[in-house]
């Protein structure tokens, strides 16, 4: 497909945070060979849904107790928020950094406020770098190698979101020089 051929020409890939899990993952899985190669070769930033696609499984769009398989970069499942909280989570919430040294969060303080718009969120796993709480504690930022995910929208998160985007661009520029 043309879009995947063009993706190889770019220095990094951003999976945006728009859409629904089921149709997007189906399209990605139809092109698994291309996606696998991109995941191995390019720095990637998944935002909101884009981050969720990078997990092993999601219950979005499934009957209770069933899941769709994701790309499996990050370990764990993406689940709907509990019934006792307003869905979607829409607005500002804090980041609690639980693993120091993630280059995406360089210069971002613990407790920084970022902007969320989500009804589903990934659970906690070894890939978690920062967490947030909204009815349950969930992964807000994940990292595995040069693949990163933010459950929030950095492009809507003011100063700290811009810092995260700047950090990703610097990472990509650093990778180009290798």
Question: Residue 6: pLDDT band by 50, 70, 90 thresholds?
Answer: confident
Is 153 considered catalytic here?
yes
Domain spans of the chain? 2-176
Residue of 34, 56, 62, 155 marked active site = 155
Spatial CB neighbours of 168, under 8 Å, sequence gap ≥ 6: 12, 43, 45, 104, 148
Over residues 80-117, the pLDDT tens digits come to 999 999 999 999 999 999 999 999 999 999 999 999 99
Pairing of strands 68-69, 120-122: unpaired
Over residues 137-176, the pLDDT tens digits come to 999 999 999 999 999 999 999 999 999 999 999 999 987 6
Residue of 10, 153, 166, 173 marked active site = 153
CATH class of segment(s) 2-176: alpha beta
In this prediction, residues 22-48 reach a mean pLDDT of 91
Is 102 considered catalytic here?
no
Question: Residue 69: pLDDT band by 50, 70, 90 thresholds?
Answer: very high
**Predicted pLDDT of residue 37:** 87
Among the ranges given (9-13, 103-107, 121-125), the one the predictor scored with the smallest mean pLDDT: 9-13
Can you tell me the distance from the alpha carbon of 107 to that of 160, in angstroms, rounded to the nearest whole number? Answer: 9
Among left, alpha and beta (phi > 0; psi -120 to 50; other), residue 145 is left
Residue of 48, 62, 66, 166 marked active site = 48
- Going across the sheet that includes 55-58, the strands are 68-69, 55-58, 74-80, 120-122
Cβ atoms of 130 and 116 within 8 Å: the answer is no
Is 48 considered catalytic here?
yes
């Amino acid at each position: 497909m043309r879009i995947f051929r063009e993706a190889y020409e770019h220095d990094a890939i951003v999976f945006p945070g728009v859409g629904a899990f089921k149709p997007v993952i189906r399209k990605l899985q139809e092109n698994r060979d291309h996606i696998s190669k991109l995941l191995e070769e390019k720095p990637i930033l998944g935002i909101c849904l884009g981050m969720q696609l990078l997990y092993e499984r999601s219950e979005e769009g499934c009957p209770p107790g069933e899941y769709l398989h994701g790309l499996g970069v990050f370990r764990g499942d993406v689940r709907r928020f509990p019934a006792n909280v307003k869905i979607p989570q829409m607005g500002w919430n804090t980041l609690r950094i639980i693993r120091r040294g993630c280059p995406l969060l360089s210069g971002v303080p613990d407790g920084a406020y970022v902007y969320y718009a989500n009804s589903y969120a990934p659970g906690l796993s070894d890939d978690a770098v920062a967490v947030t709480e909204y009815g349950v504690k969930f992964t807000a930022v994940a990292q595995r190698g040069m693949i990163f995910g933010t459950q929030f929208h950095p492009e809507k998160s003011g100063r700290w979101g811009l810092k995260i985007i700047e950090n990703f661009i610097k990472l990509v520029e650093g990778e180009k020089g290798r």
